[in-house]
C-alpha cells in the first residue's frame, strides 16, 4: 500500500477566494503616485548576480571575464551598465592608439600608444605639418636658389656632354662629316657644305677619296661610341648630385617645421622618434612630393590611394575624451568580425584594390580597450568567425586585425599586417541560460575565458518590502521612459501582475522589460483618455488589450470547442473519459486549453499503450508519465496476480505534439475509470502529474489551465458544479483572473487542491477510492476494489485463455 | 584683346625624333591663349635616305648598342613608325583644340621644309632635344638655322621647362614696342604680369607703354638692364630675381645664340620675333 494514502477518506473542499489570488500589500509605503517615490538605481533583487558582477569587474586577471545569464527581458545590460558606471569612473583613462606608416615595411603599419586624449592632437599636428610641407617644399624647390644650383648641376652635365659632342661635331665638320640622328640612334655621314653628300655624288668620288672618307668616319665612329658609353656614368653622377641637392634642400625646408611639430610631443619618445623618421623619409623621397620624376613621367600615374603626403598622416584608431574621466563602457550590438576586432578597408584604383595604414578601422575591442566591452552572446555566436576570433584574441592578449577574406581566398590583393595592440579589456557576455549551459558543455574553452558567471534571478520573494522596492522600480521606469506616473491602485495591479508573471503568488517577476511594456501600454491608454496619471483602469485595459491582441489562436480553439468541433464535455459523466488541461505558448502568449483524454481496457499482457507515443506525437516526458501509470497499477493492485491488462490512452483530437507529464494524473483517472467501469464527471477538468505512489505533483501554468477550462464553462453557462482539480502544491502559484475568482466566490466554479489519486478519483466519480482493510482487501464498491477485481478478472481470462491454447496444443 | 596686340595666326610645332609632353602642352596652351591654329610638323629629313645610299654607312643604336648597317626599307619603316607615334601623341595633346589643329609629315631637307611652310604669321616652336648628341646633330642645327632664317617668329623651348606660371618678360631695346606688344598679348591671355627689361627711362619716354597698360589693364613692371646688345649676360643678370614663365625678345639686335643661352640658363621658353613686327594698326606687318 502506498505510504502516502491515509487511512481515512479525505474529502477535498474547493479553495476559498483568498487562496486564488494574493493582493498586494503596500501599507508601509506612503505615496499617491509613483512621482512621489524615490527612483531606484542599479540591480533590484539580484544580490547573487551583483556580487558576481562586482567580483568579475574588479579582479584584474586573465580569463576573469563575465558571462551574465538570465531570462530574456531582464535588461541585464542596463543593470550591468549601471553597476559599471561607478567602477569605470574610478579607473584611469585608457591610452589612445594610432596607426602610422611603417617606412621600412609599409605592409606592416606601426601601432603607437599615446596618453589618453593625445591622439587627436598628434593627428592634427601631423596634418598641419603636411599642409605646411605642401606649401613649403614646392616653394623652396622653385626658389631661385634651388633652381640656380639645380641648373648648375644640369648645366655642368649638359656642358660635359655638350663639350664632348660639340668637339666631336667640330672635329667631324673639319673633316666634312656630319652627325645625324636616326630613328634608333646616331650615324656619321660625309658632308659637303654642311649637307649630306648624295649617294650618286659619293659614288662619283675617286676610290681613294671614298676610302679616306670611310677611314675618317670609322675613326669618328669610335669617338662617338666612346662618348655614348660615357653617358650613363655622367648621368649617374648628375642624378647623385641632384639627389644630394634635393636632400639638402628638403632638409633645410623641413627641419624647422619638423622641430616645431616635435616640440609638442617631446614627452612621448615614441612619437618624437616617429617624427624623426618622417623627416628622414621626407628628405630621402622629397622628389615624390615636389616634382615629376627625372624621366618626365608623372608620379600620379602610379597605383596609389591618395596623395604622396598621406604616408605621414596619422590614423587615429581610438581616442579618449580627455574631458571625461574613467574607462569606456562599450556595447557592440552587431559583433560581426570587422566590427569586433577592426578591419582593413580597400579602395579601388583603376580596378585594383589598394589599401594602406590609413584604411585600418578599429573595432569594438579597440574602443573598449582599458574598459569594458558588452556583447550579446547569441549575436557573437551567429556571426561567422567572431566567437573564434574573440577567443583567439583573449588567448593572445592582444588585438590582431585579421582579414578573413584573405584567409578564405576571397581577395587576392596586397593586404596589411598591422601591429597587434595589447588587450586590456573586461569582456562581459550576455545570454540566456540555455545558451550558456550549451556553450559550457560544447566549448571547453568557455571556462578558460569567462570564469565569472553572473546569474540573474527571474523573480524574488514577494514581501511587503520587496513590493515597495518594485514599486520604486516602476517609478524609475516611468521616469526613464518619460511616462506618466502611476497612481497607487495602478501600482498595486502592476505588482500583482508581476506575481502572475512569476507564476507564483509569493514571488515577483524581475523581468523588467515585461513590466516596462505594460507601463508603456498603460501610459498610452491614459494619454488616449487624456489622463495625466496612469490609473488601475489603464493598466487593466492594457493587460486585456495585450491578451486580446495575442489571443486569436486561443479564441479559435475555444470556438472549436463551443461549436462541438473539438469535443469537450462540461456536463454529465462518462466512463474512461476525462478533461485534461494543457498550456499552449505561442509567441510569448500562453493559454490553457482543455483536451479530452480517453482510455480503453481489455485483457492483455500488462501493457499500457500511449497512443501519442506510438505515433511519435508524444515527447519523452509524456511517455514517462504514462509509463509511471503502469508502475502505479503494478504496485497497487492484485499484487499476487500477473498484470494481464491491455490499456490504450489517447489525447483525442490532438494533432500536434504532446509533451510534459502534467496530464499523467488525468490519464490515470481515465484508466481507473475504464478499469472500474465507473463514469467520471465531465464538469471537472484535471491537471497534475502523478508518481508511482499515487501522489499528485506540481505542474506549470496552473493559472492558464484553470482559466482555459473556466472560459469554456463560462461561455457555455456556469452550472455551479464545474471546476478544476489542481495539485495541492500549486495552490501557492494561484494568481487567477478576477472573473474566475468572482465565480469561485459565488460558488459557480471551484478549484480543488488534490494531493493524491484517491482524493481525485473520489471527486471525479463520487465513490470512495477505498483503503485496504486489515485483510488486505479494498472495501466493496470502492473504486480500488472494482479496479482490482477487474484486473484479477483479466488475469483469469488470460490464464484460462492460455490453458485452452495449451490444451489445444497438447490435444486435451 | 590678345589678337589686337599681335598678328600671329599659326603655331608650327616642329617635331623630330621626340617631343616631351610638357612642350606639347605648352604649344597647345599658347595656341589657345593667342587664338592660333596649331600645326604639328613632323620633319622627315632627306639626309637619312642619302646616308643609307652610302655603302659603308651604319648607325649606332642606343638600345642594345653596337653598330648596324642601314637597310633603307627598315629605315623608312622606322621613320614612318616615328611619324605615326608622333601624330598619336600630338592628337592626344591637342584635345579641345582639335578642330583648329593639323598634323603633317614633311619629307625633304629640313631647311627647305621650314622655309616653304612658314610665313610671317607663324611662330615656329622648336623643342631642344634632351640629349646633347641630338642637339649637335645635323638635323637640329639645320632646323634652328632654317627657323631663324625664315619669316616666322621662333620659340625655343627647353627640354625641361621649370615654370609654367609667372610673369611674361619682354626684353626690349628702346623703340622696340612690337616685342612689348607681343609679350603683352600673351600676358593678357595668360592673366600674368608683364615685366619689361630695357634701358633705364625708356618706358617713361614711350607713351605707348602707358597706353598699353591703360588699354589692357596689365600691370607692367620695368626692370632696367645694362648693355643689352652685347650678349646674354646683361639680360640674364636682369632676370635673376624674376620668376618668369616666358621670355619675348626681338631677333635684332639679339640672335639665335643669345636666345639659346637664355633658354639654357633660365629653362623657360623664349619667343624671338621679328623686330619690325607690329600689331595691326601699329604699322606695316610683313603679310
Residue A775 has pLDDT above 90, yes or no: no
Taking contacts as CB-CB distances below 8 angstroms, the residues of chain A near B265 are: 151, 155
Q: Which pLDDT belongs to residue A357?
A: 92
Q: Which pLDDT belongs to residue B23?
A: 82
Q: Rounded to whole angstroms, how far apart are CA atoms A307 and A305?
A: 7
The closest CB to that of A178, out of B63, B138, B240, belongs to B138
Tell me, letter by letter, the H, E, C secondary structure of chain B. Answer: CHHHHCCCCEEEEEECCCCCHHHHHHHHHHHHHCCCEEEEEEEEEHHHHHHHCCCCCEEEECCCCCEEECCHHHHHHHHHHHHHHHHHHHHHHHHHHHHHEEEEEEEECHHHHHHHHCCCCEEEEEECCCCHHHHCCHHHHHHHHHHHHCCCEEEEECCCCCCCCCCEEEECCCCCHHHHHHHHHHHHHHCCCEEEEECCCHHHHCHHHHHHHHHHCCCEEEEECCCCCCCHHHHHHHHCCCCCCEEEEECCCCCHHHHHHHHHHHCCCEEEECCCCCCCCCCCCCC
Phi, then psi, of A649 in degrees rounded to 5: -120, 140
Q: Which pLDDT belongs to residue A8?
A: 57
> Grid cell 662629316 — which residue?
A177
Taking contacts as CB-CB distances below 8 angstroms, the residues of chain B near A184 are: 59, 61-63, 78
Residue A133 has pLDDT above 90, yes or no: no
Taking contacts as CB-CB distances below 8 angstroms, the residues of chain A near B57 are: 187, 189
Q: Which pLDDT belongs to residue B4?
A: 65
Q: Which residue is closest to B111 within chain A, CA to CA?
A: A195
Of A420-434, A495-509, B146-160, where does mean pLDDT reach its minimum?
B146-160
Q: Rounded to whole angstroms, how far apart are CA atoms B57 and A197?
A: 12
Contact A189 B81 (CB under 8 A): no
The DSSP bridge partners found for residue B41 are: B14, B104
Q: Which residues contact A392 (CB under 8 A, 6 or more apart)?
A: A400
The closest CB to that of A185, out of B45, B61, B163, belongs to B61
A689 is catalytic: no
Question: What confidence category does residue B283 fall into, taking pLDDT thresholds of 50, 70 and 90?
Answer: very low
Q: Rounded to whole angstroms, how far apart are CA atoms A768 and B278?
A: 140
Question: What confidence category does residue A112 fall into, taking pLDDT thresholds of 50, 70 and 90?
Answer: very high
CA-wise closest residue to A673 among A744, A580, A574: A574
Taking contacts as CB-CB distances below 8 angstroms, the residues of chain B near A178 are: 47, 138
A128 is catalytic: no
Q: Rounded to whole angstroms, how far apart are CA atoms A221 and A213?
A: 12
Strand, helix or coil at A417? coil
In total, chain A counts a number of residues equal to 812
The closest CB to that of A184, out of B45, B62, B264, belongs to B62
Q: Which pLDDT belongs to residue B201?
A: 66
> Grid cell 571556462 — which residue?
A447
Q: Tell me if B209 sits within 8 A of B184, measured CB to CB.
A: no
Question: What confidence category does residue A812 fall into, taking pLDDT thresholds of 50, 70 and 90?
Answer: very low
> Grid cell 579589456 — which residue?
A425
Q: Which residues contact A365 (CB under 8 A, 6 or more apart)?
A: A340, A341, A342, A373, A393, A399, A423, A425
Burial of B263 (0-12, 13-18, 19+ CB in 10 A): buried
Average pLDDT for A44-67: 90
Question: Regarding predicted confidence, which is higher, A240 or B204?
Answer: A240
Q: Tell me if B28 sits within 8 A of B38, measured CB to CB.
A: yes
> Grid cell 616685342 — which residue?
B179
> Grid cell 639654357 — which residue?
B264
Contact B63 A184 (CB under 8 A): yes
Q: Which pLDDT belongs to residue A295?
A: 42
Question: What confidence category does residue B275 fall into, taking pLDDT thresholds of 50, 70 and 90?
Answer: low
Q: Rounded to whole angstroms, how far apart are CA atoms A335 and A621?
A: 38
Query: Per residue in B143-161, pLDDT tens?
Result: 888 888 888 899 999 988 8
Contact B109 A182 (CB under 8 A): no
CA-wise closest residue to A17 among A502, A784, A744: A744
Q: Which pLDDT belongs to residue A4?
A: 40
Taking contacts as CB-CB distances below 8 angstroms, the residues of chain B near A222 are: none
Question: Regarding predicted confidence, which is higher, A350 or B189?
Answer: B189
The closest CB to that of A179, out of B63, B136, B267, belongs to B136
A–B interface: beta-carbon pairs under 8 A: 127
Q: Tell me the nearest-neighbour CA distance from A100 into chain B, angstroms.
A: 34
The grid coordinates listed for A319 are 581616442
List the catalytic residue out of A262, A582, A705, A755. A705
Q: Which pLDDT belongs to residue A342?
A: 94
The grid coordinates listed for A450 are 569567462
Give start and end residues of each alpha helix (H) in A565-650: 611-614, 620-636
CA-wise closest residue to A546 among A582, A581, A503, A500: A500
CA-wise closest residue to B66 among A235, A184, A166: A184
Average pLDDT for A184-208: 88
Query: Per residue in B72-81, pLDDT tens?
Result: 888 888 888 8
Contact B243 A142 (CB under 8 A): yes
Q: Tell me the nearest-neighbour CA distance from B66 into chain A, angstroms.
A: 8
The closest CB to that of B132, out of A162, A191, A225, belongs to A162
The grid coordinates listed for B112 are 627647305
Residue B25 has pLDDT above 90, yes or no: no
Other CB atoms within 10 A of residue B282 CB: 15
Of A333-342, A395-404, A761-770, where does mean pLDDT reach its minimum?
A395-404
- DSSP-derived secondary structure letter, A732: G
* CA B95 distance to own-chain centroid: 21
Q: Rounded to whole angstroms, how far apart are CA atoms A574 and A491?
A: 46
Q: Tell me if B90 sits within 8 A of B40, measured CB to CB.
A: yes
Query: Per residue in B197-237, pLDDT tens?
Result: 887 766 666 777 888 888 888 888 888 887 777 677 888 88
Residue B177's Cβ-side half-sphere holds a number of Cα atoms within 13 Å equal to 19
Q: Which residue is closest to A157 within chain B, CA to CA?
A: B132
Question: What confidence category does residue B276 fall into, taking pLDDT thresholds of 50, 70 and 90?
Answer: low
Q: Which residues contact A382 (CB under 8 A, 6 or more apart)?
A: none
Question: What confidence category does residue A240 fall into, taking pLDDT thresholds of 50, 70 and 90?
Answer: very high
Question: Regarding predicted confidence, which is higher, A758 or B199?
Answer: A758
Q: Which pLDDT belongs to residue A806?
A: 59
Burial string for B203-212 (b: 16+ CB within 10 Å, else e) reads beebeebeeb
Query: Per residue in A598-609, pLDDT tens?
Result: 999 988 887 777
Whole-angstrom CA distances from A173 to A190, A197, A475, B137, B146 are: 9, 13, 109, 11, 19
Residue A472 has pLDDT above 90, yes or no: yes
Q: Which pLDDT belongs to residue B164?
A: 86
E-state strands within A496-572: 507-509, 533-534
Burial string for B103-126 (b: 16+ CB within 10 Å, else e) reads bebbeebbbebbbebbebbbbbbb
Q: Tell me if A727 sits within 8 A of A754, measured CB to CB.
A: yes
Tell me, letter by letter, the H, E, C secondary structure of A658-698. Answer: ECCCCCHHHHHHHHHHHHHCCEEECCEEECCEECCCCEEEC
The grid coordinates listed for A260 are 616645431
Whole-angstrom CA distances from A614 to A464, A573, A582, A648, B125 are: 51, 28, 20, 10, 104
Residue A569 has pLDDT above 60, yes or no: yes
Q: Rounded to whole angstroms, how far apart are CA atoms A738 and A718?
A: 15
Angle at CA of residue B127, ends B121 and B131, nearest 5°: 160
Q: Tell me if A133 sits within 8 A of A257, measured CB to CB.
A: yes
The closest CB to that of B51, out of A183, A189, A194, belongs to A189
Average pLDDT for A717-725: 95
Residue A40 has pLDDT above 80, yes or no: yes
Query: Per residue in A66-86, pLDDT tens?
Result: 999 998 877 788 888 888 888
Q: Tell me the nearest-neighbour CA distance from A329 into chain B, angstroms.
A: 56
- DSSP-derived secondary structure letter, A296: S
Most confident listed range (A153-157, A267-271, B261-265): A267-271
Q: Is the pTM of this model over 0.90?
A: no
Q: Tell me the nearest-neighbour CA distance from A258 into chain B, angstroms.
A: 27
Q: Tell me the nearest-neighbour CA distance from A282 into chain B, angstroms.
A: 22
Q: Rounded to whole angstroms, how far apart are CA atoms A369 and A387?
A: 18
List the catalytic residue out of A509, A630, A662, A755. A662
Q: Tell me the nearest-neighbour CA distance from A252 into chain B, angstroms.
A: 21
Q: Rounded to whole angstroms, how far apart are CA atoms A524 and A447?
A: 45
Other CB atoms within 10 A of residue B67 CB: 14
Q: Rounded to whole angstroms, how far apart are CA atoms A201 and B182?
A: 46
Q: Rounded to whole angstroms, how far apart are CA atoms A109 and A546?
A: 57
Q: Which residue is closest to B58 within chain A, CA to CA?
A: A187
Average pLDDT for A577-593: 90
Q: Rounded to whole angstroms, how far apart are CA atoms A422 and A370?
A: 10
Which site among A156, A160, A182, A207 would you substitute to test the B interface, given the most B Cβ atoms closer than 10 Å to its Cβ? Answer: A182
Give start and end residues of each alpha helix (H) in A285-344: 286-290, 337-341
Amino acid at each position: 500500500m502506498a505510504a502516502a494514502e491515509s487511512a481515512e477518506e479525505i474529502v477535498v473542499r474547493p479553495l476559498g477566494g483568498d487562496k486564488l489570488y494574493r493582493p498586494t500589500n503596500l501599507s508601509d509605503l506612503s505615496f499617491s503616485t509613483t512621482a512621489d517615490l524615490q527612483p531606484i538605481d542599479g540591480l533590484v533583487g539580484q544580490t547573487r548576480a551583483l556580487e558576481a558582477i562586482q567580483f568579475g569587474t574588479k579582479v584584474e586577471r586573465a580569463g576573469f571575464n563575465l558571462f551574465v545569464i538570465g531570462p530574456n527581458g531582464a535588461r541585464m545590460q542596463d543593470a550591468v551598465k549601471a553597476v559599471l558606471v561607478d567602477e569605470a569612473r574610478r579607473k584611469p583613462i585608457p591610452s589612445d592608439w594610432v596607426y602610422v606608416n611603417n617606412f621600412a615595411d609599409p605592409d606592416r603599419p606601426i601601432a603607437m600608444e599615446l596618453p589618453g586624449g593625445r591622439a587627436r592632437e598628434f593627428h592634427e599636428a601631423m596634418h598641419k605639418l603636411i599642409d605646411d610641407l605642401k606649401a613649403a617644399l614646392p616653394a623652396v624647390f622653385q626658389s631661385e636658389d634651388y633652381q640656380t644650383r639645380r641648373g648648375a648641376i644640369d648645366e655642368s652635365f649638359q656642358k660635359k656632354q655638350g663639350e664632348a659632342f660639340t668637339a666631336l661635331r667640330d672635329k667631324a665638320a673639319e673633316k666634312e662629316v656630319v652627325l645625324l640622328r636616326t630613328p634608333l640612334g646616331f650615324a656619321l655621314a660625309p658632308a659637303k657644305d654642311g649637307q649630306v653628300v648624295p649617294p650618286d655624288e659619293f659614288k662619283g668620288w675617286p676610290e681613294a677619296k671614298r676610302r679616306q672618307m670611310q677611314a675618317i668616319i670609322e675613326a669618328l665612329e669610335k669617338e662617338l661610341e666612346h662618348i655614348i658609353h660615357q653617358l650613363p656614368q655622367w648621368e649617374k653622377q648628375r642624378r647623385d648630385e641632384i639627389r644630394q641637392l634635393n636632400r639638402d634642400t628638403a632638409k633645410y625646408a623641413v627641419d624647422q617645421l619638423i622641430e616645431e611639430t616635435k616640440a609638442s610631443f617631446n614627452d612621448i619618445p615614441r612619437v618624437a622618434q616617429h617624427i624623426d623618421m618622417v623627416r628622414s623619409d621626407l628628405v630621402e623621397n622629397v622628389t615624390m612630393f615636389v616634382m615629376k620624376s627625372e624621366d618626365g613621367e608623372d608620379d600620379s600615374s602610379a597605383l596609389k590611394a591618395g596623395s604622396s603626403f598621406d604616408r605621414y598622416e596619422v590614423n587615429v584608431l581610438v581616442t579618449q575624451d580627455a574631458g571625461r574621466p574613467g574607462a569606456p563602457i562599450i556595447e557592440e550590438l552587431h559583433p560581426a568580425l570587422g566590427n569586433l576586432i577592426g578591419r582593413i578597408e580597400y579602395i579601388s584604383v583603376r580596378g585594383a584594390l589598394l589599401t594602406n595604414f590609413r584604411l585600418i578601422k578599429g573595432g569594438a575591442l579597440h574602443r573598449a580597450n582599458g574598459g569594458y566591452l558588452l556583447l550579446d552572446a547569441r549575436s557573437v555566436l551567429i556571426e561567422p568567425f567572431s566567437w573564434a576570433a574573440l577567443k583567439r584574441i583573449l588567448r593572445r592578449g592582444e588585438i590582431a586585425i585579421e582579414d578573413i577574406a584573405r584567409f578564405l581566398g576571397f581577395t587576392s590583393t596586397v593586404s596589411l599586417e598591422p601591429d597587434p595592440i595589447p588587450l586590456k579589456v573586461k569582456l562581459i557576455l550576455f545570454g540566456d541560460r540555455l545558451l550558456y549551459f550549451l556553450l559550457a558543455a560544447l566549448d571547453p574553452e568557455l571556462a578558460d575565458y569567462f570564469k565569472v558567471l553572473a546569474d540573474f534571478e527571474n523573480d524574488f520573494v514577494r514581501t511587503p518590502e520587496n513590493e515597495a522596492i518594485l514599486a520604486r522600480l516602476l517609478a524609475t521606469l516611468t521616469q526613464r521612459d518619460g511616462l506618466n506616473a502611476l497612481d497607487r491602485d495602478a501600482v498595486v495591479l502592476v505588482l500583482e501582475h508581476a506575481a502572475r508573471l512569476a507564476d507564483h503568488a509569493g514571488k515577483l517577476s524581475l523581468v523588467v522589460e515585461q513590466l516596462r511594456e505594460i507601463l508603456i501600454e498603460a501610459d498610452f491608454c491614459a494619454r488616449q483618455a487624456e489622463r495625466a496619471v496612469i490609473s488601475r483602469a489603464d493598466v487593466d485595459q492594457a493587460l486585456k488589450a495585450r491578451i486580446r491582441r495575442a489571443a486569436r489562436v486561443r479564441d479559435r480553439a475555444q470556438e472549436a470547442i463551443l461549436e462541438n468541433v473539438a469535443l469537450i464535455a462540461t456536463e454529465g459523466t462518462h466512463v474512461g473519459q476525462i478533461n485534461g488541461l494543457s498550456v499552449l505558448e505561442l509567441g510569448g502568449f500562453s493559454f490553457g486549453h482543455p483536451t479530452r483524454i480517453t482510455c480503453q481496457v481489455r485483457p492483455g499482457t500488462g501493457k499500457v499503450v500511449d497512443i501519442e507515443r506510438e505515433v511519435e506525437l508524444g515527447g519523452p516526458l509524456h511517455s514517462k508519465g504514462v509509463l509511471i501509470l503502469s508502475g502505479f497499477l503494478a504496485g497497487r493492485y492484485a499484487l499476487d496476480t500477473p498484470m494481464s491488462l491491455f490499456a490504450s490512452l489517447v489525447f483525442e483530437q490532438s494533432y500536434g505534439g504532446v509533451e510534459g507529464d502534467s496530464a499523467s494524473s488525468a490519464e490515470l483517472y481515465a484508466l481507473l475509470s475504464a478499469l472500474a467501469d465507473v463514469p467520471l464527471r465531465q464538469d471537472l477538468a484535471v491537471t497534475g502529474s502523478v508518481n508511482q505512489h499515487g501522489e499528485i505533483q506540481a505542474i506549470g501554468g496552473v493559472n492558464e489551465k484553470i482559466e482555459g477550462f473556466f472560459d469554456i464553462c463560462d461561455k457555455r453557462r456556469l452550472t455551479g458544479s464545474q471546476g478544476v482539480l489542481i495539485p495541492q502544491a500549486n495552490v501557492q502559484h494561484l494568481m487567477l483572473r478576477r472573473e474566475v475568482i468572482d465565480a469561485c466566490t459565488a460558488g459557480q466554479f471551484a478549484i480543488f487542491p488534490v494531493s493524491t489519486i484517491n482524493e481525485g478519483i473520489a471527486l471525479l466519480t463520487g465513490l470512495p477510492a477505498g483503503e485496504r482493510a486489515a485483510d488486505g482487501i479494498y472495501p466493496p464498491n470502492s473504486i480500488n476494489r472494482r479496479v482490482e477485481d477487474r484486473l484479477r478478472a483479466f488475469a483469469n481470462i488470460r490464464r484460462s485463455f492460455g490453458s485452452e491454447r495449451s490444451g489445444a496444443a497438447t490435444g486435451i | 584683346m590678345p589678337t589686337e596686340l599681335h598678328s600671329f595666326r599659326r603655331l608650327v610645332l616642329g617635331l623630330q625624333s621626340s617631343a616631351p609632353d610638357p612642350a606639347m602642352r605648352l604649344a597647345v596652351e599658347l595656341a589657345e591663349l593667342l587664338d592660333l591654329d596649331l600645326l604639328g610638323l613632323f620633319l622627315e629629313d632627306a639626309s637619312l635616305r642619302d646616308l643609307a645610299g652610302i655603302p659603308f654607312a651604319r648607325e649606332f643604336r642606343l638600345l642594345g648598342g653596337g653598330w648596324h648597317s642601314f637597310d633603307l626599307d627598315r629605315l623608312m619603316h622606322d621613320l614612318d613608325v616615328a611619324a605615326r607615334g608622333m601624330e598619336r601623341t600630338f592628337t592626344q595633346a591637342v584635345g579641345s583644340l582639335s578642330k583648329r589643329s593639323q598634323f603633317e609629315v614633311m619629307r625633304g631637307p629640313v631647311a627647305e621644309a621650314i622655309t616653304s611652310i612658314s610665313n610671317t604669321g607663324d611662330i615656329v616652336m622648336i623643342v631642344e632635344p634632351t640629349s646633347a648628341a641630338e642637339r649637335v646633330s645635323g638635323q637640329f642645327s639645320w632646323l634652328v638655322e632654317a627657323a631663324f632664317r625664315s619669316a616666322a617668329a621662333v620659340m625655343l623651348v627647353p627640354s625641361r621647362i621649370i615654370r609654367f606660371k609667372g610673369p611674361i618678360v619682354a626684353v626690349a631695346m628702346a623703340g622696340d614696342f612690337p616685342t612689348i606688344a607681343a609679350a603683352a598679348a600673351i600676358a593678357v591671355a595668360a592673366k600674368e604680369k608683364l615685366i619689361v627689361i630695357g634701358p633705364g627711362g625708356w618706358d617713361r619716354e614711350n607713351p605707348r607703354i602707358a597706353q598699353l597698360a591703360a588699354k589692357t589693364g596689365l600691370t607692367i613692371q620695368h626692370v632696367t638692364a645694362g648693355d643689352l646688345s652685347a650678349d646674354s649676360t646683361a639680360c640674364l643678370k636682369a632676370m635673376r630675381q624674376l620668376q618668369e614663365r616666358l621670355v619675348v625678345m626681338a631677333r635684332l639686335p639679339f640672335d639665335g645664340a643669345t636666345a639659346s643661352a637664355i633658354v639654357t640658363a633660365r629653362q623657360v621658353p623664349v619667343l624671338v620675333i621679328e623686330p619690325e613686327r607690329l600689331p595691326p594698326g601699329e604699322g606695316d606687318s610683313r603679310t
